[in-house]
Amino acid sequence: MSSALQTPPPAPSAPRDAVAVTPRLRSTARRWVFWVVVVVLAVLGAGFAVLATASAIPDAGRYSIESAGPGGSKAVAEVLLQQGVDVVRADTLAEAQAAVAGHDATLLYTDPFGYLDAAKLRQLHGLGAELVLVDPSSAELSILAPGIAPAGVVEDSPTVDAGCTLPAAERAGIISRSGTTFRPVGGAAAVSCFRSFDDAFSVVQVQPADGGPVTVLGAGDVITNDAVAQNGNAALALGLLGAHPTLVWYLPTAADAAGTTPPTLGDLTPGWVTPVVLLALLVVVSAGVWRGRRFGAVVVENLPVTVRASETMEGRARLYARQGAYARALDALRIGTVSRLTETLALPRHAPVAEVALAAAAVAGLPTAGVYDTLVGAMPASERELLDYSDRLLTLEQAVHRATDPRQGPRQGP
């Protein structure tokens, strides 16, 4: 009869399918969308910064007789060639010196990138029958035209009159105002043309004692393709540059600075370093791809293993014994004892240990100091003391249970 009333054991549950939790493409993309937006914004910001600062970078094609762009000077060179002037392009100081040697030549010089140092600038002094400096810097003026100094940017005005006796300026009459201005200094005998304001002029010519005339042209736009046809720009350009049978058009390049700049890190590095660095980077990337790849979907599966609490307890006890962690082992026993005493004495779950010790001592009729020492005060220094305190915890817990359980009868003693 009793066997018939027994509850049958539950039927084993059917195995459940494993669930794959590998992130899908959509979730991965959603997680990375923020960083993609940040990178795109950074690239766009860098692009705008480059465009904003591009105006401060000298135009490599400006004043080039090979350039047909707005800033080039191919139109002026072609017209001079048609008028019989031999226009020679020079990219280095050596080429300029070779082109001027033995010829009645005008030397046009402009160096927006500042390739020539002071020593090479001195070699231009007295080179050619006439020297025309286009938009020179203060350092170039101090060496090539010491009687002329910069005077600032021209004032806003569409045109400016010659106002001087220089033949090329008189034939031009009016030119479009542009560029920078210069002024004669130190009492130098100079011809100043195209006054912008006060003593600031767009064209200044001085006659050094040891060479041909030096003309400083601040209105560099008059020799560009974009502005040469405006007003009297062409007349001024042809008058200044076509005064002699040969015109040497010298725009310094990086080759002029090759021997003066200090060696770079690439020059000092042995040739085998770059291939080795590239190979090391390739190895690192390959190792990352090799070791970082996924071998399949991550699957959640219930493990058919049950670990008994006694095994966990024994394993932790062996660890405590091996490390000599007597205090930590006793703390684990005390925590369990305090938790059970709190429940037995109907105290709040978070009651302080001192309150638990006081209540337990009152109920069991034990000294409060001894109970507190057992629950939290004493610290074992050996395995023997640990066993002693463990027995004291058990004795205390049994005493409290006997005192609070009416089925145990009257208490006979601690």
> Are 176 and 111 part of one and the same domain?
yes
Mark which of 209, 226, 256 sits at the end of a domain.
256
Task: Copy the structure tokens of residue 121.
Answer: 């600038």
Is residue 298 scored above 90 in pLDDT?
no
φ and ψ at 139, to 5 degrees? Answer: -65, -40
As a whole number of angstroms, the distance between CA 212 and CA 215 comes to 10
> Are 220 and 331 part of one and the same domain?
no
Give which of 370, 368, 366, 354 is closest to 399, Cα–Cα. Answer: 366
- Beta strands of 268-409 (E only): which ranges? 299-300
Q: Which whole number is the average pLDDT over 250-261?
A: 76
As a whole number of angstroms, the distance between CA 391 and CA 402 comes to 16
| Residue 161 counted as domain residue | yes
| Residue 294 counted as domain residue | no
The pLDDT > 70 percentage for the chain reads: 78
> Are 124 and 191 part of one and the same domain?
yes
Q: What is the pTM of this model?
A: 0.51
Neighbours of 36 (CB within 10 A): 10
111: domain CATH number is: 3.40.50
Q: What digits encode the pLDDT tens for the residues 354-374?
A: 888 888 888 888 888 888 888
> Are 204 and 322 part of one and the same domain?
no
- b/e string for 259-296 if b means 16 or more Cβ within 10 A? eeeeeeeeeeeeeeeeeeeeeeeeeeeeeeeeeeeeee
Beta strands at 130-134 and 214-217: parallel, antiparallel or unpaired = parallel
| Residue 65 counted as domain residue | no
> Are 317 and 251 part of one and the same domain?
no
- Region of poorest pLDDT, from 11-20, 46-55, 133-142, 209-218: 11-20
Q: What is the model's pLDDT at position 55?
A: 47
| Residue 278 counted as domain residue | no
| Residue 38 counted as domain residue | no
> Are 109 and 172 part of one and the same domain?
yes
> Are 83 and 210 part of one and the same domain?
yes
| Residue 384 counted as domain residue | yes
| Residue 4 counted as domain residue | no
Q: What digits encode the pLDDT tens for the residues 213-225?
A: 999 998 888 999 9
Q: What is the model's pLDDT at position 269?
A: 79
Q: Which whole number is the average pLDDT over 137-146?
A: 90
> Are 252 and 400 part of one and the same domain?
no
Question: Which residues constitute the domain of residue 117?
Answer: 74-256
Between 56 and 117, whose confidence is greater? 117
As a whole number of angstroms, the distance between CA 90 and CA 252 comes to 8
Mark which of 216, 241, 256 sits at the end of a domain.
256
Give the chain's domain count.
2
> Are 186 and 326 part of one and the same domain?
no
268: helix, strand or coil: helix
> Are 122 and 251 part of one and the same domain?
yes
Burial of 14 (0-12, 13-18, 19+ CB in 10 A): exposed
Q: What digits encode the pLDDT tens for the residues 40-97?
A: 888 887 776 666 554 444 555 788 888 888 888 999 999 999 999 999 999 999 999 9
| Residue 101 counted as domain residue | yes
> Are 249 and 319 part of one and the same domain?
no
Burial of 35 (0-12, 13-18, 19+ CB in 10 A): exposed
> Are 214 and 320 part of one and the same domain?
no
